[in-house]
Chains A and B, each alone.
Chain A
Amino acid sequence: MKRSFFSGPYALWMVLFTIFPLIFVAFYALTDKNGAFTFANLAQGFENDYMKVLWRSIRLALECTAICLLLGYPCAYILAGKDFSRHKSLFVLILLPMWMNFLLRTYATMTLLEDTGVINSLLEKLGMQPKKLIGTRGAVLFGMVYNYLPFMVLPIHTSVKKMDERVIEAAQDLGANPVRVFFRVKLPLSVPGIISGISMVFMPSVTTFAISRLLGSGMIHMLGDTIENQFMTLNNWQFGSALSLVMMALILLSMGLLNRIDINKSERTNNW
């Protein structure tokens, strides 16, 4: 039996659920309501109002990715180290929230942050002034970091864990102090994990819409919200598709840039 036989189902899956939908999106984006070819939808996507939304989404996604990296790297590094490698339960704790549906988690976060929510009731009991948390940019950012942090920790953890002990020992034998070992050996070796983590966090962040709606109370309008609106209430599939295309192009572009950093790494653990 040929080996390609086994890839058949997978190819079929890809064609049905990736290629076909993509063709549909491109078709809608490049036609008007009567089915005639047009660039008008794409051009509309570059209008000022939509660029503002796009810029807001990108900025929030970048901030979320940066925070996840700052929090996630030390966490993954420590968990992969000798002291904790026997304590699997700690690692499971990182994964645990992912076992629950993210909408449920976001609803739960909402009840934490509301004006009459857990945090503000607590503040009030302590005699402090309640703070407006829900419906702010900070709340959305918090929700995004909370949801996407495991996607940063996992790939970094893997790449740190896979590091060849002998290389590190060699550096130590040659007289490098721990700081030098980290910056000259360990950090460069974990770059594939970092890049993989960045793309895993950035992509869902830039397209998020449920988190911004629930925690931002609809005050922080994101690109995902705008696209959903085009499909669900305006019934404008053409423009919705065009916006989706713009977003996909953006993601491809940033992934391409990231991969260039990664290009001279022999060992590639990232998914791109």
Chain B
Amino acid sequence: MKRRTRRIIIIAVVAALAIAAILYFAVFKNRQDKLIVYNWYDYIDESVIEQFEEETGIKVNYVNFTTVEEMYTQMTAGNNSYDIVVPSDYIVERLIKEDKLAALDYEKLPNAKANILDTMWAYSYDNGNKYSVPYMWGTMGILYNTEKVNGEITSWSSLFDPQYKNGVFMLDSIRDMMGVMLKYQGYSLNDFSDEALSKVSDLLIEQKNNGIVAGYMVDEVKDKMIAGEGAMAVMWSGDAMYAIMENDKLAYVVPEEGSNVWVDAMCVPKDSKHYDWALKFIDFMCRPDIAKKNYEYIYYASPIKQVVAELPAEEAENVAVNPNEEILAKCETFTDMMDKMEQLNKYWMKIRN
């Protein structure tokens, strides 16, 4: 009797294992057959993915991240394999340095080759776009409330103007904030000499002590500016565009001293198992009708010529989605500075304390 029970248990366990294995491989196989796209959260018109699946028959597994650092950790530390990732410029640079990206074959990217803006090919993070194709891009600047400032804002110096006491929102992001202030003082965005950094941080400490700063924030600033709090805020162009659409008293400017220009670009990791599919997807994103759909959903500046050419007049004049070349000439991208963040943080702690 006892032996029989044991036999039944063994059979049951083996059966359960077999079923589990079948299920596992079914799911696993299913996963293998999909193109895994790893993009920022809320950064695509999802109907575009469906359209891609319909037109090509390739199934897409679309996954998201909210910070590019999270993406970097997932991609390099985890044993996840992604077919397309969409990091920011300086992370692209780091990934190239670490030999994690596959070189792109532009023979298979006719749309990207023909449609990407001429100005988008020579940024230092990936000169010639050998490993990455721009997806969306933008600048950093000042979003201001036209009813609360005197005249037009044109310079970073307005952030230090005593008449805007308790009216200036600064960005709680070390790299970006220090970067644009370096630009304001005539240094390069990536100049991390102690001389430059201490000069800039002295300015920021004085600004805080003078009571001009209303807060150091990231996500909440948009809503505050829309609600009419504060006179101006340091902001990314994409967020600024969103705020302007919600409140037409707001305007965005890239200050004349120059600023940061950033690019989020599509890349194929070296360990992708679907190189050809990935290129198909990237090229699909560069098709004018698709890029336009994405632009109209995200409202970040598009790198696709046709989208820019067909902008409605009002948007074409808005530097938040269509920076002119004069401004761009003064802007720089960030270089990868992972090993310099500690040094930056020392200055930042002094400012915030």
Contact = CB atoms under 8 A, between A and B. Distances in A.
Interface of A: 49-50, 52-53, 114-116, 132, 134-135, 213-214, 216-219, 221, 226, 229, 232-236
A234 B345 contact: yes
Interface of B: 67, 69, 73, 166, 169, 172-175, 213-217, 220, 224, 227-230, 338, 341-342, 345-346, 349-350, 352-353
A50 B345 CA distance: 12
A116 B167 CA distance: 12
Contacts of B175: 233
A216 B215 CA distance: 8
B299 to A, nearest CB: 25
State the majority secondary structure of interface residues on A: loop
* Shortest beta-carbon contacts, A-B, top 3: A217-B215, A218-B216, A49-B349
A234 B341 contact: yes
A218 B341 contact: no
A230 to B, nearest CB: 8
Which of B169, B213, B217, B350 has most A Cβ within 10 Å?
B217
Contact of B229 (A53, A115, A213, A236): A115
Given A219-B213, A219-B216, A52 B224 contact: no
Contacts of A49: 346, 349-350, 353
Contacts of A52: 353
A9 to B, nearest CB: 22
Contacts of A218: 172, 215-217, 352
Nearest to B69: A235
A219 B350 contact: no
A116 B229 contact: yes
Nearest to B217: A218
B212 to A, nearest CB: 12
Contacts of B353: 49, 52-53, 221
Contacts of A134: 215
Contacts of B227: 114, 116
Nearest to A49: B349
A232 B69 contact: yes
Nearest to A135: B215
